[in-house]
Amino acid sequence: MNSGALDRIFNALCDEGIIDVNLEVLSIDSTSIRVHPAAGALKKMGHSRIGRSRGGLTIRLHAIAADDRTPVIFDLSPCQLHDGLQVRKLLEKLEPVEVKAYLVMDKAYESSQTRRLTVEMGFIPVVAPERSRKAP
């Protein structure tokens, strides 16, 4: 995955017009993926994207998508890392938007740093506030 092959394929599909991304509303989410037990050898060889959780070896897929079938950008990380840090890395890879677009997130991504970054990039964050948040 470190070679960037998936990024090159996705960018080529966008350049050819096969994938057309409408950036009015984007959503962010992640999911955990169990890794086959044989992949434990990859972990020992230093592949840092494989993590260990109570369920065994896992990888977390983080994605920013324009709809249910159109990913804009995605990345893999070990499951034990916090989602907020990973989404900020994804957002930094995107170019700022010229027209305001909504960015729908769940509470896992609700932090002052993530909100600040989304606003700086031209997005309008749509996320339920944590109970401890004093100001919206």
Please report, for the domain that includes residue 69, its CATH number: 3.30.420
- Report d(CA 108, CA 117) in Å as an integer: 15
Whether residue 134 is contained in a domain is answered as: no
pLDDT tens digits, one per residue of 16-69: 877 666 667 888 888 777 776 666 555 555 556 666 666 677 778 888 888 777
In a domain, 94, yes or no: yes
Quick check: 111 and 91 in contact, CB under 8 A?
A: no
The residue among 121 and 54 whose pLDDT is bigger is 121
At 113 the pLDDT is 86
Backbone angles phi, psi at 68, to 5 degrees: -70, -10
Would you say residue 1 has pLDDT above 50?
no
Q: Is 10 contained in some domain?
A: no
In a domain, 4, yes or no: no
Task: Identify the pLDDT of residue 66.
Answer: 83
> Does the residue 5 lie in any domain?
no
HSE-up of 45 (CA within 13 Å, CB side)?
A: 6
Mean pLDDT, the chain, integer: 76
Asked if residue 133 belongs to a domain, the reply is no
Domain count for the chain, please give it: 1
Q: Is position 13 within any domain?
A: no
**Comparison of pLDDT for 11 and 53, the residue scoring more:** 11
Assigned domain for 8 exists:
no
pLDDT at 2 over 60: no
pLDDT band for position 10 (cuts 50, 70, 90): confident
Q: Look at residue 35 in the predicted model and tell me its pLDDT.
A: 73
Question: Containing domain of residue 44, as a range?
Answer: 22-126
The pLDDT > 90 percentage for the chain reads: 0
Tokens 């995605």 sit at which residue? 74
The residue whose two tokens read 């994804």 is 90
